[in-house]
Amino acid sequence: MNSLSRSISVPRNYSGHTVVKLLSNEVPKLFPFFNGSTLSHQQGSKNSDNELEELWTVNEMNSTFSVLRLGPAHRHRLKRSTGYSIISDDLQEWINRGFGPNIRSARSTKRIESVLVRDFRLDKYQPLDEIYRYLDELVNVAPVRVFDIGETHEGRKIKAIEIRGNSQDPRLVWIDATIHAREWISPATIIYIIEQALVTKAKVNFLMVPVFNPDGYEYSWTVDRLWRKNPDAMTEECNGVDLNRNFDASFDGQGSSDDVCSQLYQGPSPFSEPETRSVGHLIWTMRKNIKLAISIHSFSQLWACPYAYDTAPTPHYREHMEVLKAIQDAVYKTHGVQYTIGPLSTSLYVGSGFSMDWMYERAGIAHSYLVELRDKGVYGFLLPADQIIPTATETWAGIKAAIYKVLDVKIRS
Ligand SMILES: [Zn+2]
């Protein structure tokens, strides 16, 4: 299906869907038919009343909670729970109220605009076209190169930006964002980072892919706010690959799925997708120069190092923890927000086919990290826009600390 027919798709409506938080070990008892993160009824099904989906998990006080989206037909099952809390009684109303596109946060009074690109607000979530306009217009005002590295299933360009802050230095800092479509704070944060790197004239070279998954991101704006994967072949009932399960690092292992209906579907083979092939190729070409790599996700408030696929420590465990500690301190000093640190497998969950593990293990980039931005599951993927700037500033502080630690270059405020 091409992008024209996609753009006239009917937006997905979550009216009457409940978002509920309950202890994870209660889930099989209340929903015995539910298979992990897989939708109980296939995506695109007309019968959305019967849908059930795990949106995220939260670790709190040694307990694991699951946040589920329940179609109206499942609501009555909560009566058998020993305790739960409703996060939203009507997910669509919640999306509409303040967390959807183009709705200004009531609390935010001061506009924060780019000083480099006209009419571009940094304190709003921006659709793909606007993000690409920002990148393209930067070329006229800053020492950057913006170039296409590939094309998606639906024919959209995947854009990379290179910032040359120090032409004498061959070393590069890699940052990517938006591999998962619904994690809107991720592109908003990387744009802020680009802006700050240029405004502060940081003496560092960056290579970034701000929107790793352009089809998915567009789809999350136009059709389904909670879309995660790269949509493909929308005529089929289930589709899309979790691009962060598609890398050649313990592919098909624990924490990924070979079920195309799963949110964690790994794809038919490593690098089966145009997005992972394009980004993987760029990283592979530049791997000798990349000294620090960071992948931006949301949410959980976590800075993580490899492995994702194995709970055993890597040979670099001690060095990674030193960098993560420096990041954690710098982040905390910004707004007093605490982020957890540690290997992804022991801090969040075990997952296979991650770009972070592939960069570390296959591409030989010793300092490869992943950040899960705000929050810890109150708003989750629907983080209000008034948290964009606070999240982005603390993340930039963390990245500057990592650059100082790994590259020994200081970036001013
Ligand atoms: Zn993610």
- The closest alpha carbon to 108, from 386, 404, 408, 389, belongs to 386
Q: Of all residues in the chain, what percent are helix, strand and coil, respectively (each to 5)?
A: 35, 20, 45
Annotated catalytic residues are 372
Find the 180 Cα to ligand 1 centroid distance in Å: 5
Domain ranges of the chain: 17-89, 128-407
Find the 120 Cα to ligand 1 centroid distance in Å: 25
Find the 62 Cα to ligand 1 centroid distance in Å: 23
Find the 244 Cα to ligand 1 centroid distance in Å: 8
pLDDT value at position 5? 42
Going from the first residue of the chain to its last (413 residues), give the mean pLDDT of each consecutive group of 10, the final group possibly shorter. 48 88 90 68 58 78 82 90 86 72 50 95 96 98 97 96 97 98 97 98 98 96 91 70 97 91 91 98 98 96 96 97 98 94 92 97 98 89 91 98 98 88
pLDDT value at position 203? 97
Find the 296 Cα to ligand 1 centroid distance in Å: 8
Q: 166 and 205 in contact (C-beta within 8 Å)?
A: yes
Q: How many residues does the chain have?
A: 413
Find the 401 Cα to ligand 1 centroid distance in Å: 23
Strand arrangement of the beta sheet that strand 205-209 belongs to: 144-151, 157-164, 205-209, 172-177, 290-298, 368-373, 302-305, 340-343
Find the 140 Cα to ligand 1 centroid distance in Å: 32
β-strand pairing of 340-343 with 290-298: unpaired
Question: What is the SS3 assignment for 93-135?
Answer: HHHHHHHCCCCCCCCCCCCCECCCCCCCECCCCCCHHHHHHHH
Amino acid at 333: K
Domain 128-407: CATH superfamily is Zn peptidases (3.40.630.10)
Q: What is the dihedral angle through the alpha carbons of 176, 181, 182, 183, rounded to the nearest 10 degrees?
A: 0
pLDDT value at position 3? 41
Inter-axis angle of helices 185-199 and 388-407, to 10 degrees? 60
Find the 82 Cα to ligand 1 centroid distance in Å: 31
